[in-house]
Amino acid sequence: MKQFDIPATYRSSFISTIKKSRKDSDPRKKDFTPTLLDFGSVQFLIARHFGFCYGVENAIEIAYKAVEENPGKRIYLLSQMIHNPSVNTDLRSMGIQFIMDTQGNQFVEWNELKTEDIVIIPAFGTTLEIEGKLNDIGIEIQKYNTTCPFVTKVWKQSEKLGKGDYTIIIHGKHKHEETRATFSHSSEFSQSIVVKDMEEAKRLGEFIEGKMSIEGFHSYFKEYYSEGFDPEKLLTRVGVVNQTTMLASDTQAIADYFKDIMLAKYGEKQLSEHFADTRDTLCYATNDNQQATFGLLKEKADLAIVVGGFNSSNTSHLVELCEEKLSTYFISTEEEILNTSRIRHFNFHNKQMLMTRDYLPKKEPLRVILTSGASCPDAVVDGVMDKLLSFYPDHKSKEQILSEMGIS
- Written out in words, the top-level CATH class of the domain with range 54-137 is alpha beta
Give the per-residue pLDDT at 282.
66
Cis status, amide bond into 365, omega within 30 of 0: yes
Q: Indicate the pLDDT class of residue 160, thresholds 50, 70 and 90.
A: very high
Q: Indicate the pLDDT class of residue 295, thresholds 50, 70 and 90.
A: very high
The candidate with the shortest Cα–Cα distance to 285, out of 81, 29, 37, 100, is 29
314 has which bridge partners?
none
Give the per-residue pLDDT at 248.
83
| Whether the predicted pLDDT of 247 surpasses 90 | no
Contact 58, 52 (CB under 8 A): no
Q: What is the pLDDT of residues 23-80, one digit of tens each?
A: 999 988 889 999 999 999 999 999 999 988 888 899 999 999 999 999 999 999 998 8
The domains spanning 8-53+284-404 and 149-276 adopt the same CATH topology: yes
Give the per-residue pLDDT at 209.
96
Q: Indicate the pLDDT class of residue 191, thresholds 50, 70 and 90.
A: very high
227: annotated active-site residue:
no
Q: What is the pLDDT of residues 165-186, one digit of tens each?
A: 999 999 999 999 999 999 999 9
Give the per-residue pLDDT at 1.
57
The Cα 232–Cα 32 span in angstroms is: 45
How would CATH label the architecture of 149-276?
3-Layer(aba) Sandwich (3.40)
Q: In the chain, where are the structural domains located?
A: 8-53+284-404, 54-137, 149-276
Q: What is the pLDDT of residues 354-406, one digit of tens each?
A: 999 999 999 999 999 999 998 899 999 999 999 999 999 999 999 999 999 99
Residue tagged active-site, from 178, 200, 334, 336: 178
**SS3 of residue 36 by DSSP:** strand
CATH 3.40.1010.20 fits 8-53+284-404, yes or no: yes
Give the per-residue pLDDT at 374.
87
- The torsion angle over the Cα atoms of residues 142, 147, 150 and 152, rounded to 10 degrees, is -50
CA distances from 11 to 5, 80, 263, 377 (A): 11, 20, 49, 6
The Cα 370–Cα 198 span in angstroms is: 29
Q: What is the pLDDT of residues 311-350, one digit of tens each?
A: 898 899 999 999 999 999 999 999 999 999 999 999 999 9
The length of the chain is 408
Q: What is the pLDDT of residues 102-135, one digit of tens each?
A: 888 899 999 999 999 999 999 999 999 999 999 9
Determine whether 33 is exposed, middle or buried from the number of CB atoms within 10 Å of its CB (0-12, 13-18, 19+).
middle
The Cα 80–Cα 341 span in angstroms is: 33
Taking the model in full, what pTM does it have?
0.87
Cβ-Cβ contacts under 8 Å for 175 (sequence gap 6 or more): 103
The candidate with the shortest Cα–Cα distance to 36, out of 25, 24, 47, is 47
The pLDDT of 231-252, averaged and rounded, is: 92
